[in-house]
Structure formats: C-alpha cells, structure tokens
Amino acid sequence: MGIRLNISDLFDMAIQVEKDAQAFFKGAASFYASPQARQMLLDLATMEAEHEAIFGVLKDRIVSEGRGGAPAGSPDVPGVPLIAAGVFVNGIQGDLAKQFTGREKPHEIVRRAIQFEKDTIVFLVDLKAFLNDPADKAHVDTIIREELGHVVKLVGHLGQT
C-alpha cells in the first residue's frame, strides 16, 4: 500500500531533516581542533536553522490556506511514496550527531556530512515534486541550491583534511 502522506507531513519531515542537520554539524564541530573548520561547520548549522525556519513558514502558510491536509501527489509521480522520506522516517539515517564516537578522523566526519547533504537534496527534490504552487517550488529550489553549496564547501574542505 505505501505511506500515505499529506503536504503538512512533508514539511514536518523537511523541518526534522533540517533539525538533524543542525545537530550533526554542531556535533561534528566539537571534534575539530581547527577554529576555521569548527566555524565552517557551525556556519552550516546556522544555515540549516534558516532552512528549518523557511520550511516552518511555508508549512504554516499552506496549512492556513487549507492545503496542508491535501494528499501528497504530483502529475510526475502520482501515488508513489517518497523514497527519501522513507529513509528519514524509518530512521535509516538515525541521529547522526549521536553516532560520533570521538575516534572519527576529520575526513570521516566530512564524508558523513557530504552524504547527509546528498540525502537531504534527494529528499528536497522529492518534496518539490509533490508541490503544485510555483512559489512553494521556488522556495524549495533555493534551499536545494544552498544544500548543493554545502556539498561544494564540504568537498573543498575534504581536500584540506
């Protein structure tokens, strides 16, 4: 049968993904001795908090307009459950911030961060496919571009570790 989601559910998941990213980047920062690396990760956490706020505003607006309970659907992927949502909902990612043992090498932390960002991008592309309003899609596109920027920043940092 699959997971039955509505638009409000999707935004709840997006908000949780951003909260998880914040916790991950803050946790990762605590393992770095380099002030520059720590600050980069804390800056990414701040950007994720901004994304969380944007998703909260979008969700509130959509719910206030009476569209929050609408079944998630799209002409491109009618009735297909979100694969990426399943990843997050089923806890495959889990609480990444709590997975740190303190023995990770900097490059291992950065690789985890890159993978988390890639998973987030896949989720956001799926989320966008279920939105009908062009303005909502534009907001999600902006966040996708920013998440891609995070990957670029992290890959650049990976070359320095």
Is residue 71's pLDDT more than 70? no
pLDDT tens sequence across 3-12: 566 788 888 8
How much is the pLDDT for 57?
A: 95
How much is the pLDDT for 76?
A: 47
**Domain map of the chain by residue range?**
7-67+76-158
What's the CATH fold of domain 7-67+76-158? Ferritin (1.20.1260)
Average pLDDT, whole number, for the chain? 80
Poorest-pLDDT segment among 24-33, 61-70, 80-89, 130-139:
80-89
For the residues 84-108, what does the mean pLDDT come to? Answer: 61
Q: 70-78 long-range CB contacts below 8 Å, 24 or more apart?
A: 70/6, 70/7, 71/4, 71/5, 71/6, 72/5, 72/6, 72/7, 72/9, 72/10, 72/130, 73/130, 74/129, 74/130, 74/131, 74/132, 76/129, 77/129, 77/130
pTM attached to this predicted model: 0.81
Is residue 75's pLDDT more than 60? no
How much is the pLDDT for 43?
A: 95
Is residue 49's pLDDT more than 50? yes
Higher pLDDT: 32 or 114? It is: 114
For the residues 65-71, what does the mean pLDDT come to? Answer: 71
